[in-house]
Structure 1
Amino acid sequence: MHPEEGVEVTASPAVADDAGRRALVALVGVTLLSLVVRLQSLGARTFHWDEGRVGYWILRYHETGRFSYRPIIHGPFIQHVDALLFHVVPATDFWARVPVAVITAALPLSAWLLRRHLDEVELVSLGLLLTLDPLLLYYSRFMRSDALVGTFAFVAFTLLVRAFDTRRPRLVYPAVVSFAFAFGSKENALVYVLCLLGAGALAYDHQLVRAATREIGAFDRLKTDLTATRSWLDDASGETPSALWLAGVFSGATLAFLAVIVLLYAPRPDIWTALDGPRQFANVVDSATVEAGNRFVEGWVETGHREHPYVAFLHDMLETLLYGSAVVLTLAVVGFVVDGYGGDGRILVAFTSYWGAVSIIGYPIATDIQAPWAAFHVVLPLTVTAAVGVAALVRLVERGVATDDRATVALAALVLTGAAAGIVVANGDYWNSAAEEDRKVLQWAQPENELKPTLAVVDAVVRKNEGRDVLFYAGDDDRFHVANESSLDQPPPGGPSWHSRLPLPWYLERAGATVTSTPAETTATEAMSDAPAVVIAAAEDRDALESRLEGYAVAEHRFKLWGEGIVVFVDRDAIREAGLEPSAL
């Protein structure tokens, strides 16, 4: 970032010392707010289908100590963290989500690393947007790896910016480690790399165009930048020759990256024997890198997971953005226009704008299902540009007050108030939502929250019951039947019908339930002749079972928010033996 020949490459509104201290204190306060809003009522929402799938295998890993990478449930970071966490705290919805909530809560602090490029108001605005944007907040309270990969990648980016700004190569190492954790969280860290490269190319072209408008040739500008880059390397490396220093930094960063990847992707318990000898060490490294890479290619590249209608996925992405993050999108447009056309044209603002734009284009290609959590990766970089938009409106109010321009003050204040109100209202709608009307931001495989009290009753009954605990009635379509329940001890599960039960296996496994199921040809009369304490079936089978389960309390719930329901029968005597009133269900 350097002025050359009268050309200001980036206008860096570096915060002054006093303002910087105020901004830092404010960001610490915002980070505490971020932590509070992410932890508050974190366990209130019923586990989503995907949370239940990953959570079940975490419980099995926690119990057996056996783990191997499976691309279908994504990177192993959350699996390792939760499996360790459950040695200290109980396996609950709250504690399973805590690692995601705590890590994403630290995002506002990363804004401080951009203080050479953003002023005091922009830094604090960025922290607030990272804290309160409805889409970012909702999926930061969700035990899924999208928020993790986004957070680690964003922090890595801000560390690299700071390393460039300060000529401190040591910051490259935490940046690389953070990016390694991104790769260990979810495979779309590769998409982040592509989006960053694409945004970088567009942002530099943006700078070349700006240079051309000032009658400086693109070739001269390129030569100037190459000279500045060499000067930067010389300054950063000190007395060491730049090429040798660069090779050392690259080698150290590569080793740091590989160390994290091996730590996360190596199978368990094999990793604990890695130091038994050179051959065993090589085998562990190969399993964590080459073998894991091959599994990723086989699981996501060669199997056609990306064969889907692009326009439909793009429409779904845009719909989610408009409903979940309309304020950030609007403010990002304001920030891009104000900075690029009426301001100094900072490269950071251009870069994050292009990063968001490239993500909008790229994620409908990269994602395998229409899922609103993909929009998290679009909103994240746009918060920087949106923060510039907030600051522009604040400055407009200040100038209006100074010049007694009441119309300008009223307009800018109205926009800011409307933006704040929009965020508050949206968060009120989505806070712990599991409601069908919020389908633009939620994914369809979310059970309703009213299921949780029923599951609490089932949990109490199972813990007190002896013998068989739960029977899944498969009905005519064999929906819930698993022929060999012991096949669920280690992944993959024994048949596709197990996935139809999700997220119930998470709740039943942590209660220690003994589970059986009926094959499709079993009639309701046969199945209920020796029914256990709990019977679970599809909602359409309720009438067939209810008359055969006298003495059972019954509850019906939406199992998927649109299109599927389940019914849960619990023996009233078993409820009493568990110390509950039969009316509890």
Structure 2
Amino acid sequence: MSTDETPSSELGRSHDSVTAFGRSVGTRTLAAVVAVTLVALSLRLFALGTRVFHWDEARVGYWILRYAENGIWEYHASIHGPFLYHVNKYLFQLFGASDFLARLPVAIVSGLLPLTAWLFRERLDRAEMLTVGLFFALNPLLLYYSRFMRNDVLLAAFMVYALAFYVRLFDTHKPRYLYAGTLMLALAFTTKENVLVYVVTWLGAAVLLLEHRLLLVGGEDDRVALLRKWGSDLWHARRWWLHLALGLAFFFAVVIFFYAPRARGVPGPGLWKAFTNPGMFPAVVEEATVGSWEKFASKWGEGNQNSFLGTFKALWKPTQQGALPLLVLALVGFFVDRYDGPRPRDLVAFTFYWGFVSLVGYPVIVENPFPWEPIHAVVPLVIPAGVGLAVFVRWAAQAIGDSDGVSATLATLLVLLVVGQMAATAVTTSFVHPQDEYLDDGQTDVNTLVQYGQPADGIRPTLELVGEVARQNDGTDVLYYGSDFYVADESDNDRWAAGGGWYNRLPIPWYTEHADAVVESAADPSQLSGDVPPVVIARASDSHVLDRRLSNYRAYEHELTIHGSRTVFYVHEDALPSDAPPATDGGGGDSNDESS
């Protein structure tokens, strides 16, 4: 991607930022970008551990805890890439497992996204850098899943970082940006399999940019001259062969480190075992590359088996609630940049094509229309959206300078409306109702950012109570009752994949595991006689069986998902702390009523 020419002066775009603004203006712009970044980080870190783990967070978190305990890990495409496994394993070992710490890597990686605007300073003016940073900081969809232990935001962020460093490489010709961009690209490959979709969209966007360049030149002779120039540039790029070779080796070193199996105490190749047995390294490298690639690529073998329109509608709901103003402004930014000025900027066009293709392409390729999927379209569209919002910022500034009160008021109101609506939705979805099915008491405004596997509000005190009881108890701490939860051999849950009804227990296993709880399960009422553990967990539909047998237990009923999964936690009265909450309504008997 070559450096673009100076954008339209009519829109108030600056000169090249190396000499633009003057040194003091550049410093003030950087300070403003840093300030926006601090806001982004603060929003992601504030009360980060408050929301109870989602089903998927708990599933992955449990396997990380088991990996930290037994030192055994191998790549499975169904639970996605190894980045969170290895990073969080070390975090847990150093500081102890918690909801906050598990989400911390995603929060930090995404919270630093506004800084990429500064890397684009040759391509964006100062107003655009700030508006791009604001969208990265405040977009509700991005903010919500930046406070979530999933790979989607990590993947999108790493690809934006990679693009920013590669663009900076073209603008400065400094090799360090090649290695920084390659590191980000390699890390993106360690997050989730749809990085392959990013590669395809990048290639498609690059082809469109080349076509634009050919169309912008005058006649056939000019096009031939341009093609010759490109050929000459490629030929001169041979001077970079050493850096390119080292960059490629660096990419594979990162990928191999993350994807190499860990096999402490079990047969088979393992990364750390190979350091004491170097002859094992070829097998480790093969498994980390060829073996992982076969699993990696197979993840996209089937794609969406449902109708495109139905999947698009399902994905559109969270997109509309979390990013509609961004989409509108992305269109504004793209078309203004394309048609109002001497030439369109590559960065704006590239990111618009990247995001637009993702917006219409994901309904074709996703297996399930989960609300985090639109992130992959929204994140690249932040850049043209920032350009679009900056149009109105400059309009307001120019109107104020021209003493045009009406235009200044309209433009300012538009900017405030967009930023205010974005901030209000972000606060409502991420802080006020982060695990509620509805955003209002009347239950009419559906919270489309919350996926079905999120436990309903109110369950955390009970989960903390179960953990406290388990820490104080000797022997079996938790007994699961009923066919939904039954696992014939609990040791089947020690390594992926778990057995029987284990998945129906989520997110409880994450909380019992980092409380070191000893867990058993039963499917027959006769197993509830004798020495029953202090905590018994069952579906509410089985409470009629348990109420009479657990009369000296206090019952707490909750949903393990948004709805349709009523579950009762029975806790023995003798194990309860003095400040334990009272029993909840529904499920379980009154602990003081011996006849219940």
Q: What CA distance in whole angstroms lies between the structure 1 residues aligned with 2:561 and 2:262?
A: 34
Supply the AA of the counterpart residue of 2:253: A
Aligned to 2:481: 473
User: Are positions 1:87 and 2:93 aligned together?
Assistant: yes
Q: Is the 8 A contact 2:4 2:346 kept in 1?
A: no
Query: Given the alignment of the two structures, is residue 500 of structure 1 paired with residue 501 of structure 2, yes or no?
Result: no
Q: CA deviation at 1:68?
A: 0.9
Distance 1:307 1:247, change over 3 A: farther
Q: How many angstroms does 1:399 deviate by? A: 1.9
Q: Deviations over 1:510-547 (max 9, x none)?
A: 1111111223xx24x65466532111122332344223
Structure 1 stretch displaced more, 345-354 or 43-52: 345-354
Corresponding position: 1:412 with 2:411: yes
The 10-residue stretch of structure 1 (564-573 or 446-455) with the greater mean CA deviation from structure 2: 564-573
In the alignment, which residue of structure 1 is the partner of 2:219?
217
Q: Give the conservation status (yes or no) of the 8 Å contact 2:61–2:102.
A: yes
Gaps of 5+ in 1: 235-241
* Correspondence for 1:239: none
- CA deviations on 1:85-133 (whole Å, 9 max, x unpaired) are 1121120101111111112111111111100010011111111111111
Distance (whole Å) between structure 2 residues aligned to residue 550 and residue 13 of structure 1: 77
Bigger mean CA deviation after superposition, 528-537 or 501-510 = 528-537
**Conserved? CA contact 1:38–1:141, under 8 Å:** yes
Q: Deviations over 1:296-353 (max 9, x none)?
A: 245x245x46433322222222222111112211221221122112234212111111
Q: Does the aligned pair in 2 maintain the 1:49–1:445 contact within 8 Å?
A: yes
1:490 aligns with 2:488: no
1:462 aligns with 2:462: no
1:556 aligns with 2:557: yes
- Given that 2:554 and 2:583 are in contact with CA atoms closer than 8 Å, whether structure 1 keeps it comes out as no
Query: 1:362-401 maps to which residues of 2 (within 5 A)?
Result: 362-401=361-400
User: Residue 54 of structure 1 aligns to a residue in which SS?
Assistant: helix
Mapped to 1, the partners of 2:359 and 2:409 lie a distance apart of 33
Whole-angstrom distance in 1 between the partners of 2:367 and 2:65: 26
Distance 1:24 1:175 in 2: 21
Structure 2: runs of 5+ lacking an equivalent? 264-269, 439-445, 585-596
Name the CA distance, whole Å, in 2 between partners of 1:218 and 1:131: 45
The equivalent residue for 2:358 is 359
Which amino acid in 2 is paired with 1:377?
H
Tell me by how many angstroms 1:202 deviates.
2.5
CA shift in 2, pair 1:541/1:222, >3 Å: farther
Per the alignment, residue 320 of structure 1 pairs with: 318
The CA deviation at 1:210 is 4.0
Using the TM superposition, give the Cα deviation of residue 250 of structure 1 relative to its aligned residue in structure 2, in angstroms: 2.8
Which of 237, 248, 252 pairs up with 1:254? 248
Count of paired positions = 559
What do you get for the CA RMSD once the two structures are aligned?
2.4
Which of 515, 518, 523 is 1:514 aligned to? 518
Mapped to 2, the partners of 1:571 and 1:93 lie a distance apart of 26
- Which residue is equivalent to 1:440? 448
What TM-score, normalized to structure 2? Answer: 0.89
Task: Assess if the C-alpha contact under 8 Å between 1:553 and 1:582 holds in 2.
Answer: no
Q: Is the partner of 1:374 in helix, strand or coil?
A: coil
Q: Measured at CA, do residues 2 and 492 of structure 1 come closer, stay the same or move farther in structure 2, by a change above 3 Å?
A: closer
AA of the residue aligned to 2:422? I
Q: Look up the SS of the partner of 2:576 in the other structure.
A: helix
Q: How far did 1:410 drift?
A: 2.1
| Letter in structure 1 aligned against 2:354 | W
Superposition map of 1:142-161 within 5 A: 142-161=148-167
Q: Give the CA deviation at 1:204.
A: 3.1
Please identify, of 50-59 and 543-552, the stretch whose mean Cα deviation from structure 2 is larger: 543-552
8 Å Cα contact 2:111-2:137 kept in structure 1: yes
Where does residue 41 of structure 2 map in the other structure? 35
Q: CA deviation at 1:480?
A: 1.0
> 1:95-134 residue pairs with structure 2 within 5 A?
95-134=101-140
> Which residue of structure 2 lines up, in the alignment, with residue 329 of structure 1?
327
Amino acid at match of 2:397: E
Aligned counterparts of 2:292 and 2:221: Cα–Cα separation in 1: 43
User: What letter is aligned with 2:505?
Assistant: R
Q: Distance in 1 between matches of 2:346 and 2:300?
A: 34
Distance apart, 1:563 and its partner CA: 2.8
1:294 aligned partner: 294
Secondary structure of 1:88 counterpart: helix
**CA–CA separation in structure 1 for the residues paired with 2:351 and 2:149:** 27
Q: 1:139 and 1:47 mapped to 2: Cα distance? A: 12
> Do the aligned residues in 2 keep the contact of 1:534 with 1:571 (CA within 8 Å)?
yes
* Equivalent position of 1:238 in the other structure: none
Contact kept, 8 Å, 1:191 with 1:366, in 2: the verdict is no
Native 8 Å contact 2:435 2:455 kept in 1 = yes
**How far apart are the structure 2 equivalents of 1:30 and 1:480?**
46
Distance 2:258 2:379 in 1: 25
More helix per residue: 1 or 2? 1
Question: How many Å separate the matches in 2 of 1:84 and 1:494?
Answer: 27
Tell me the equivalent position of 2:339. Answer: 341
Task: Indicate how the Cα distance of structure 1 residues 435 and 251 shifts in structure 2: closer, same or farther if over 3 A, else same.
Answer: same
Aligned AA (1:453) = P
1:232 to partner: Cα distance? 7.6
Q: Match for 1:280: what amino acid?
A: M
Does the C-alpha gap of structure 1 residues 479 and 231 become closer, same or farther in structure 2, counting only changes over 3 Å? same
Moved more, 157-166 or 550-559: 550-559
SS in 2 for 1:554: strand
Give the alignment's TM-score, normalised by structure 1: 0.90
Correspondence for 1:536: 537
Q: 2: distance between equivalents of 1:255 and 1:121?
A: 39
